[in-house]
Amino acid sequence: MIPLLSVSDLSVGFGRKAEANEVVRGVSFDLADGQTLAIVGESGSGKSVTALSINRLVDFGGGKITGGSIRLRRGDGGVLDLAGAAEPQLTKIRGAEIGMIFQEPMTSLNPVLSIGTQIAESFRLHRGLTGRQAIAAAKDALDRVRIPDAARRLKYTPNQLSGGMLQRVMIATALACNPRLLIADEPTTALDVTVQAQIMALLAELKRETDMSMIFITHDIGLVAGIADKVMVMQNGQAVEQGELNQILDHPRHAYTQHLLHAVPHFASGKATRSDGRREKAPDAEPALKVDGLAVRYPVRSGLFGRATGAVHAVDGVDFELMPGETLAIVGESGSGKSTTARAVLGLVRSTRGSFSASVRKAAAGQSALPIQMVFQNPYASLNPRLTIESILAEPVIASGGRVNAETRARMTTLLKRVGLPENSLERYPHEFSGGQRQRLCIARALMLNPSVVVLDEAVSALDVSVQARVLELLVDLQREFGLAYLFISHDMAVVERIAHRIAVIYAGQIVEIGDAKSVLSAPRHAYTKKLIAAVPTIERRRQRFELDTRQVPSLVRPLGFEPGPAKWDVFGSDHRVRIEG
């Protein structure tokens, strides 16, 4: 039987001389009805360009198909080569026969139009529906992707929905006209594991209901194991290996595929936790960071005069200690309060109550010292593109009242060497470095003031898996060398397992479970911790079926004057506590 989609020797280039600037070269694959092909590879491998070329959206980004064919079997049985199709033909196919879920819902959806208006557009364009008919169809589309209270949410704008809800809206839009082929470009990137699991469950269920084919683009091998029938691995614009799922995962032949699989942090339910750096038990040991009763609240205002009618309890009564040389990972979903906790400790948001203290190290002569520094999530956004690396490394010194002298420049050189960058990096600019190198620069900047505590807020989540592995190794080496304490904020449980000594699970602004990493991951006690761990995708869980869950996180809005009661804990072993609910 003729495949639904047959891509043969596809090449794509950019610029005026596209043939000389090809980023995809000689890619070929077939996709049958009801089949899922996963395209995996690191950033810059060409996987997204390949996907955008199928429905010719690459044309709108300065790209051009320079060779090959993309043959689509139409609904009437005819075959059309999309590579040479005219724009009027493509307009009828996009959305109707080929749906697409884009990577960033916040940038893919119009921020000023309601959700209902944007979904209804597909029905107006491809089905000829108008007015109430289109809106009614849009509501049905939201019901289809299990968005609760769909009629009310049709009136929402994108900023009023969470990341997981926005991704469901993108899926509803892509599937509005029942396309036979769905292209999902990194649909779960930056989503928490539980939300990610729900999106994967939704895609799998919708695929079963409609028998559609899917091209699933990702860098997460664990997700591939849960949804794909076939896998194609891309490197430098070429397909270096492809085959059946089990063949690729169990018997990879190409060196790059083996490298990717080796670099992926496999979640091992507490069996791969660190064995070094046990907590100091001496009674006189001073914590590097102590947080006691931390609360962060934001007023809720309403009415003509904006009177405060309540407060959002973003963080409520958080307590923990972080010892020198120790890593405490704070895990939880978006909105749970983990990043707010870290930012409150740094003074980037104002705490409502509570106290925290950090030990200050002795600084060498002529050097400044501050107890806490931070490494942010996005290395592309956290480095000033107009400054040289020397100026960037000098910033914290100058901001703390110090002077850039010979000792400061010597420390710059030492730190650059220690994070694996050449000395001549000082005269270069951020755009001259890769993502992994930029994050190394951010780490060097954080160490300029000899801190005792480094806060790492999703510091490796934006990196490819192989780069991520090397940065994690660097962090562990630096911790051992300098005795650093890390407050590690993450939603990736596999990464947490490999770097954390202790784990604090935060839910609805409160720590619900805290203790030794091995104990928490191997024997979780709180229902929320169990839910987080159950949602982690792994290569070992082939064809894992997730149950759809449309329950929402409880509201954090409390009436004025509300104060939570004192926390009560169950204790398991020497270092494992679980909050007693109610």
Write out the H or E segment, with its range, that includes residue 373. Answer: strand 372-375
Nearest-CA neighbor of 356 among 290, 412, 312?
290
- Amino acid symbol at 481: E
Residue 282 has pLDDT above 60, yes or no: no
Asked if residue 125 belongs to a domain, the reply is yes
Q: Are strands 289-302 and 22-31 parallel, antiparallel or unpaired?
A: unpaired
Residue 221 β-bridge partners: none
Asked if residue 69 belongs to a domain, the reply is no
Q: What is the pLDDT of residue 386?
A: 94
Residue 242 CA to residue 231 CA, distance in Å, equals 5
CB 370 within 8 A of CB 449: yes
Q: pTM score, two decimals?
A: 0.81
Q: Cα separations (Å) of 114 from 54, 87, 134, 167, 198? A: 29, 28, 13, 15, 24
Burial of 63 (0-12, 13-18, 19+ CB in 10 A): buried
Q: What is the pLDDT of residue 552?
A: 56
Residue 465 CA to residue 420 CA, distance in Å, equals 18
Q: Please write the tens of the pLDDT for every residue from 239-254.
A: 999 999 999 999 999 9
Please report which confidence band the pLDDT of residue 283 belongs to, taking 50, 70 and 90 as the band edges: low
- Amino acid symbol at 529: T
Residue 30 CA to residue 243 CA, distance in Å, equals 11
Q: What is the pLDDT of residue 278?
A: 56
Q: Which residue has the tokens 């030990």?
A: 359
CB 496 within 8 A of CB 518: no
Average pLDDT, the chain: 89
Among 77-81, 120-124, 472-476, 533-537, where is mean pLDDT lowest? 533-537
Instruction: Quote the Cα angle for 437-438-440, to 5°.
Output: 65
Q: Which residue has the tokens 């510091």?
A: 459
Sheet holding 557-559, edge to edge: 353-358, 289-302, 307-322, 557-559
Nearest-CA neighbor of 224 among 252, 246, 207?
246
Residue 550 has pLDDT above 60, yes or no: no
Among 221-225, 535-539, 544-548, where is mean pLDDT lowest? 544-548
Nearest-CA neighbor of 174 among 222, 129, 207?
207
Among 126-135, 482-491, 548-557, where is mean pLDDT lowest? 548-557
CB 235 within 8 A of CB 45: yes
Please report which confidence band the pLDDT of residue 542 belongs to, taking 50, 70 and 90 as the band edges: low
Residue 351 CA to residue 315 CA, distance in Å, equals 9
Q: What is the pLDDT of residue 280?
A: 53
Asked if residue 113 belongs to a domain, the reply is yes
Asked if residue 294 belongs to a domain, the reply is no
CB 193 within 8 A of CB 332: no
**In terms of residue numbers, what domain contains 135?**
105-178
Q: What is the pLDDT of residue 150?
A: 86
Q: Please write the tens of the pLDDT for every residue from 302-346.
A: 877 788 888 889 899 999 999 999 999 999 887 788 989 999 999
Residue 269 CA to residue 226 CA, distance in Å, equals 18
Q: Are strands 557-559 and 307-322 parallel, antiparallel or unpaired?
A: antiparallel
More confident residue, 397 or 467: 397
When divided into structural domains, the chain yields a total of 1
Nearest-CA neighbor of 206 among 552, 518, 548?
548
Q: What is the pLDDT of residue 198?
A: 79
Q: What is the pLDDT of residue 465?
A: 81
Averaged pLDDT for residues 55-60? 93
Residues 6+ apart with CB under 8 A from 185: 48, 51, 52, 100, 101, 102, 103, 217
Residue 197 has pLDDT above 50, yes or no: yes
Asked if residue 359 belongs to a domain, the reply is no
Residue 444 has pLDDT above 50, yes or no: yes
Dump the DSSP string for 403-472. Answer: ---HHHHHHHHHHHHHTT--GGGGGS-GGGS-HHHHHHHHHHHHHTT--SEEEEESTTTTS-HHHHHHHH
Asked if residue 31 belongs to a domain, the reply is no
Q: What is the pLDDT of residue 322?
A: 95
Please report which confidence band the pLDDT of residue 365 belongs to, taking 50, 70 and 90 as the band edges: very low
Residue 206 β-bridge partners: none
Asked if residue 109 belongs to a domain, the reply is yes
Q: Cα separations (Å) of 356 from 199, 248, 321, 341? A: 38, 49, 10, 11
Residue 403 has pLDDT above 80, yes or no: yes
Asked if residue 351 belongs to a domain, the reply is no
More confident residue, 458 or 31: 31
Residue 453 CA to residue 374 CA, distance in Å, equals 9
Please report which confidence band the pLDDT of residue 284 belongs to, taking 50, 70 and 90 as the band edges: low
Tokens encoding 514 = 């805290």
